[in-house]
Amino acid sequence: MATTDSLEETTVEVFNEQIHGGVTLPDDEGYDEARTVWNAMIDREPALIVRCSGTADVITAINFAREFDLRLAVRGGGHNVAGTAVCDDGLVIDLSPMNSVRVDPDSKTAYVEGGATWGDFDHEAQAFGLATTGGIVSTTGVAGVTLGGGLGYLARTYGLAHDNLRSMNVVTADGELVKASENENADLFWGMRGGGGNFGVATSFEFELHEVGPEVLAGRVLHPYEAASDFLRQYRDFMHDAPDEVQAYAAFVRGNPAMGLPEPLHGETLVGAAVLYSGDVEAGKEALRPLREFGDPLADTIQPVPYTAHQQSSDELYQEGHRNYWKSHFLDELSDNAIDTIVEHADPLPTAFTTVFFEWMGGAIARADPDATAFPHRDATVSFTVAPKWTDPAMDEELTDWAREFFEATAPYATDDVYVNYLSDDEQERAKAAYGDHYDRLIELKRKYDPENVFRTNQNLDPGV
Ligand SMILES: Cc1cc2nc3c(=O)[nH]c(=O)nc-3n(C[C@H](O)[C@H](O)[C@H](O)COP(=O)(O)OP(=O)(O)OC[C@H]3O[C@@H](n4cnc5c(N)ncnc54)[C@H](O)[C@@H]3O)c2cc1C
């Protein structure tokens, strides 16, 4: 792979003239901002950041990177914890200027550019009381979430984000724009839904929408750490029987003023669940009753709220600019022994914004044909993630060790599998497990669409294996 040192200044100038959006170089104002991603642990210095205004810029950038054999990275929302949106020395295709969302309420369709966030998406769709499954933090990119899978409050009702895709436009490694759908380039459409950014740059998506809200029954219940064992057992039993309209993410968090808790609880390790009922509010009150009647909650904020408000309710907890390290896997079953181990390790949470969270699967995720898309974890019960968050670089080792030890302690209760979008920077060897039973088929597809591995700054499917 060439380095950009070998590029002539004039070559870069000519390239710059062909780009409508703009090219940011290391000496340019705004360079540091342009290379910054959500996870402050990632400190990479690309040689060229191409802020694409449209498909033409994407094609030009891919062709340039291929011609000069430059490492290439693709940035959607910039939220991937492994920081794969940026690379050292090479070229970054930054799609953030391409963030338009257009909704056709009659056909219940959203047309979404490759750099839009879920905040952009929900804002437009909710103007018509429509939504589809999307990430639960509004600043996260539609593209990265969707291409890897797409868990969210609506997933048990409507499937993964990418189960709701009708088509997408993709610029492939040879700089060709193609459409991918069930009817056109169906193999690519299959692989892009779970295979992440391995096959091309998705410049736009066409999503099916559903009637949701604009007001939904949603909020949080919080309990003291001392109730954690019983709460998690009750959560597990509740979710096993819950209707598809219910999604509840259990979590350990530390109390803070934004949770509406009294001062003595600020900083305390708490357990609870963030909940959404996607259907009728009155039906939701009945469906959520068992979860809400448990014990003596410190807070119960579940009430009719705008869907967009609930979609933004975790933004502060997962704000940008902090250092992050995630360790995640699917648990076989949330057994009593698994719960006891988790409870033992969860207190104290080491920093104010550290979380440990459970994402229940099932419902429409599990009902889809396991081969419908490249996402291989349809039968998983619950995804479990340890997510320390801190600001002081001096704490890097302590906090990553904490996550690793917690993760190792829960390994006896886990499958070998992991959601590809939750892998950290040092976990490339787990990518195979993340692609699961679909790995071989994905490698074949990679050999067809990207034999030179142009798209390699990701959870990579190496065509050379
Ligand atoms: C705070 C936070 C909350 C999250 N919540 C959820 C959640 O609710 N549900 C869930 O499923 N996941 C969630 N995730 C994980 C999320 O799915 C991944 O981090 C995902 O990669 C983020 O997408 P992005 O576009 O912001 O990422 P980026 O960092 O911009 O991109 C990640 C990778 O995706 C690929 N990519 C991005 N855009 C494109 C494109 N247009 N075309 C081709 N490839 C592209 C590239 O390979 C890139 O390296 C969350 C992550 C964080 C940090």
In a domain, 193, yes or no: yes
Residue having the nearest C-alpha atom to atom 20 of ligand 1: 144
What is the token pair recorded at 170?
């993709």
- With 0-12 / 13-18 / 19 or more C-beta atoms within 10 angstroms meaning exposed / middle / buried, residue 154 is buried
Check if 141 has its Cβ closer than 6 Å to any atom of ligand 1: yes
The mean pLDDT value for 417-425 works out to 98
Check if 95 has its Cβ closer than 6 Å to any atom of ligand 1: yes
Distance 258 CA to ligand 1 centre (A): 26
Cα–Cα distance for residue pair 161/373, rounded to 1 Å: 11
Check if 62 has its Cβ closer than 6 Å to any atom of ligand 1: no
Q: Which residue shows structure tokens 């409050």? A: 153
Spatial neighbors of 8 by CB under 8 A, at least 6 apart, are: none
Q: What is the pLDDT of residue 340?
A: 98
In a domain, 39, yes or no: yes
In a domain, 433, yes or no: no
Lowest mean pLDDT: which of 2-6, 70-74, 195-199, 303-307? 2-6
Q: Is the same domain home to 29 and 152?
A: no
Alpha-carbon torsion 179, 184, 186, 187, what sign?
negative
Residue 87 near residue 71 (C-beta atoms within 8 A): yes
Domain count across the chain: 3
Q: Is the same domain home to 148 and 293?
A: no
Distance 63 CA to ligand 1 centre (A): 24
Phi and psi angles of residue 21, each rounded to the nearest 5 degrees, phi first: -75, -55
Q: Is the same domain home to 185 and 268?
A: no
The mean pLDDT value for 173-183 works out to 98
Q: Is the same domain home to 403 and 289?
A: yes
In a domain, 449, yes or no: no
Looking at residue 21, which CATH number applies to its domain? 3.30.43.10
Least Cα distance to 348 among 395, 399, 275 occurs for: 399
Check if 83 has its Cβ closer than 6 Å to any atom of ligand 1: no
Query: With bands split at pLDDT 50, 70 and 90, how would you rate the model's confidence at 320?
Result: very high
Distance 303 CA to ligand 1 centre (A): 30
Query: With bands split at pLDDT 50, 70 and 90, how would you rate the model's confidence at 138?
Result: very high
Q: What is the DSSP string of 253-296?
A: EE--GGGT--GGGTT-EEEEEEEEE-S-HHHHHHHHHHHHHSS-
Residue 3 has pLDDT above 60, yes or no: no
In a domain, 3, yes or no: no
Q: Is the same domain home to 294 and 197?
A: no
Spatial neighbors of 186 by CB under 8 A, at least 6 apart, are: 180
Residue 71 near residue 91 (C-beta atoms within 8 A): yes
Looking at residue 146, which CATH number applies to its domain? 3.30.465.10
In a domain, 22, yes or no: yes
Q: Is the same domain home to 302 and 339?
A: yes
Check if 134 has its Cβ closer than 6 Å to any atom of ligand 1: no
Check if 375 has its Cβ closer than 6 Å to any atom of ligand 1: no
Q: Is the same domain home to 125 and 75?
A: no
How far is residue 378 CA from its own chain's centroid?
Answer: 17
Instruction: Report the chain's mean pLDDT, rounded to a whole number.
Output: 96
Cα–Cα distance for residue pair 250/259, rounded to 1 Å: 15
Residue 219 has pLDDT above 60, yes or no: yes
Q: Which domain holds residue 192?
A: 101-211
Residue having the nearest C-alpha atom to atom 23 of ligand 1: 144
Distance 80 CA to ligand 1 centre (A): 5
Check if 458 has its Cβ closer than 6 Å to any atom of ligand 1: yes
Give per-residue pLDDT as tens, 324-365. 999 999 998 899 999 999 999 999 999 999 999 999 999 999
Which atom number of ligand 1 is nearest to the Cα of residue 455? 47
Which atom number of ligand 1 is nearest to the Cα of residue 75? 30
In a domain, 446, yes or no: no
- Structure-model confidence comparison of residues 145 and 260, the more confident one: 145
Pocket probe for ligand 1: among 38, 81, 147, 276, the residue whose CB has the most ligand atoms within 8 Å is 147
Q: What is the pLDDT of residue 5?
A: 66
Least Cα distance to 78 among 124, 38, 33, 138 occurs for: 38
Q: What is the pLDDT of residue 8?
A: 85
Residue 424 has pLDDT above 90, yes or no: yes
The mean pLDDT value for 194-200 works out to 97
Give per-residue pLDDT as tens, 373-412. 999 999 999 999 999 999 999 999 999 999 999 999 999 9
Spatial neighbors of 29 by CB under 8 A, at least 6 apart, are: none
Last residue of a domain, one of 94, 129, 162: 94
Distance 420 CA to ligand 1 centre (A): 10
Own/partner contacts of 101-105, CB < 8 Å, gap of 24 or more, are 101/125, 103/127, 103/128, 103/130, 103/209, 105/130
Residue 250 near residue 228 (C-beta atoms within 8 A): no
Q: What is the pLDDT of residue 248?
A: 98
- Please give the model's pTM, rounded to 2 decimal places: 0.97
Distance 366 CA to ligand 1 centre (A): 22
Lowest mean pLDDT: which of 1-15, 110-124, 198-212? 1-15
Q: Is the same domain home to 193 and 252?
A: no
Q: Is the same domain home to 305 and 334?
A: yes
Residue 371 is which amino acid?
D
In a domain, 459, yes or no: no
Residue 4 has pLDDT above 70, yes or no: no
Residue 435 is which amino acid?
Y
Q: Is the same domain home to 414 and 396?
A: yes
Distance 79 CA to ligand 1 centre (A): 5
Percent of the chain topping pLDDT 70: 99
Q: Is the same domain home to 194 and 222?
A: no
Alpha-carbon torsion 364, 127, 141, 402, what sign?
negative
Q: What is the pLDDT of residue 1?
A: 58
Query: With bands split at pLDDT 50, 70 and 90, how would you rate the model's confidence at 7?
Result: confident
Q: Is the same domain home to 151 and 222?
A: no
